[in-house]
A and B are shown apart, each in its own frame.
Chain A
Amino acid sequence: MSAALDVYTVITVSLGALFFLAGSLGLLRFPDTLTRLHALTKADNLGLGLIVAGLLPQVAAPLAWVGLIAVWLLALLTGATVGQLLAIKVRRAAARTEAKAATDGGHRG
């Protein structure tokens, strides 16, 4: 039983680490801010979630479970909030730049 749980931990934590690698690569390789935001939230939600899920059989007390899951739930909440806030800011900045370009073009024309 213990060996099976160890195998589960190894597989799940490895998958989570892979998602962190994918998130970092996406942050480096994706072309604009909104797509990079997508890569980041994948690492946040799935990477951390898989690592927490893999660690659960390795800790004994139910209280330690609560601590691990609390970290993941907080990361989910903050990831969603920050993602929305940053996306709103990026879109507003883009809209301002476009409006400014249109106004400048109007003055010239």
Chain B
Amino acid sequence: MSEFLLAAAAFVLGTVALGLVRILRGPDDADRMLAAQLLGTGGAAALLLLGVATGDPAVADLALVLTLLAAFASVAFVAGKAGGNDE
């Protein structure tokens, strides 16, 4: 079972890496932020899979922190650009 879970983690990370092409392409900063948000969620999913595969429950806490930081990053992006210069 743990081999399958490791393979699933690698697959999820691969799809997230594919989504990161959007950071290169843009065109808007909001689009880049979406890809970063996907990296946060996909990273959390991969961490959960790794944690169960290796039997280490502490990895779930890492996933929790990663999700929280991804949310903070997006909120900071929206709040920071609210009066911003995107015109």
Write the residues of chain B forming the contact surface with A, with a CB cutoff of 8 angstroms: 1, 4-5, 8, 11-12, 15-16, 18-19, 21-22, 28, 30-31, 33-35, 37-38, 41-42, 44-45, 48-49, 52, 57, 60-61, 63-64, 67-68, 70-71, 74-75, 78, 81-82, 86-87
Contact = CB atoms under 8 A, between A and B. Distances in A.
A45 to B, nearest CB: 9
B28 A33 contact: yes
A55 B44 CA distance: 13
Of the candidates A9, A21, A24, the one having the most CB atoms from chain B within 10 angstroms of its own CB is A24
22 contacts: A10-B4, A16-B45, A23-B19, A23-B38, A24-B18, A28-B19, A33-B28, A40-B38, A48-B44, A51-B12, A51-B48, A55-B5, A67-B61, A67-B64, A71-B48, A74-B68, A75-B44, A79-B41, A89-B78, A89-B82, A93-B30, A93-B87
B79 to A, nearest CB: 8
Give the interface residue-count category, chain A: 35 or more
Contacts of B61: 67
Given A28-B21, A48-B41, A48-B44, A89 B57 contact: no
Interface in A58-79: 58-59, 61, 63-64, 67-68, 70-71, 74-75, 78-79
A36 B31 contact: yes
B70 to A, nearest CB: 7
Contact of A58 (B16, B52, B78, B87): B52
Interface of A: 6, 9-10, 13-14, 16-17, 20-21, 23-25, 27-28, 33, 36-37, 40, 43-44, 47-48, 51-52, 55, 58-59, 61, 63-64, 67-68, 70-71, 74-75, 78-79, 81-82, 85-86, 88-90, 93, 96-97, 100
B15 A21 contact: yes
